[in-house]
Amino acid sequence: MVGKGIAALSLFLLLAGRAQADDKLVRPLGDTEVDWGAGTISARGGAAADLRMPTADIARPGAERRARAAALAKLRAALQSLPLRPGGKLSATELEAALGRAHPAGVDYQSNGGVLLTMSLAFGDIVPPKEKAKAPPDAGAEPTRKDPEQALAVASMPFGLAPRVVAGEREAALSWAVYRTGAPPSGVDAIAVKRDAKGNLVLPKGEAKALQKLAGAPVVIYVQKAPK
């Protein structure tokens, strides 16, 4: 019975993931889902109730712990391959710190004691700015998200968490980036950039001073042609 319950939960999670993977900015990464527009990475976990327990209420806490562990294991695997920039990955220290900031984004308690839940991470809590790293949020707390103030526009590029920006011989990494498809809307002052052979975003000569503002800052990147 437990095996059948787990199989049913797995099928439910698979179908739920596929239903949300059609948006151009929502991409699967292993067993997780990355929303490059919202700036989140999420993983679903499920656990059937232990039928040896006398009641569903008594079985539910154990099922929730197992579901959480399953979701975190998926997040761990995905974070190990999450692209920061071309050739760049999270360090082991950054990965462990990020997992500690994951929070429940939704929990569904089944009447039989089983649990389905989603663990989520905001991009800003994967590689937080230096000033934020000194005072990390409580583990599992819902993060406070702000829309980035800086904006770039590029013809095409693969999605990455923290691309590097180049101005002449100087370069700097963004803190994190979210993406929009198409040209920047009216009223948005986005700097037009190009990609070099290394995958860096190159500022035009007239915008070289903007490198200081972009270094370590979250940015919205408008991509005219989204990668497939």
**What pLDDT sits at residue 145?**
56
Sketch the domain layout of the chain as residue ranges: 2-133, 150-225
Contacts 24+ apart (CB under 8 A), 193-197: 193/152, 193/153, 193/154, 193/165, 194/154, 194/155, 195/154, 195/156, 195/157, 196/166
SS (H, E, C) the chain: CHHHHHHHHHHHHHHHHHHCCCCCCEEEECCEEEECCCCEEEEEEEECCCCCCCCHHHHHHHHHHHHHHHHHHHHHHHHCCCCCECCECCCHHHHHHHHHCCEEEEEEECCCCCEEEEEEEEHHHCCCCHHHHCCCCCCCCCCCCCCCCEEEEEEECCCCCCCEEEECCEEEECCEEEEEECCCCCCCCCEECEECCCCCEECCHHHHHHHHHHCCCEEEEEEEECCC
Q: What pLDDT is stored for residue 9 in this prediction?
A: 46
Task: Count the Cβ atoms, other than its own, within 10 Å of residue 26.
Answer: 17
Cβ count within 10 A of residue 59: 22
pLDDT tens figures, 111-160: 888 899 999 999 999 976 554 444 444 544 444 456 788 999 999 999 99
pLDDT digit of tens for each residue in the chain (228 aa)? Answer: 444 444 444 434 444 443 343 378 999 999 999 999 999 999 999 998 888 888 888 888 899 999 999 999 999 999 999 988 877 889 999 999 999 999 999 988 888 888 999 999 999 999 765 544 444 445 444 444 567 889 999 999 999 999 999 999 999 999 999 999 999 999 899 999 999 999 999 999 989 899 999 999 999 999 998 887
pLDDT value, residue 130: 53
Q: How far apart are CA 100 and CA 96, in angstroms?
A: 6
pLDDT, tens digit, 9 for 90 and up, residues 1-15: 444 444 444 434 444
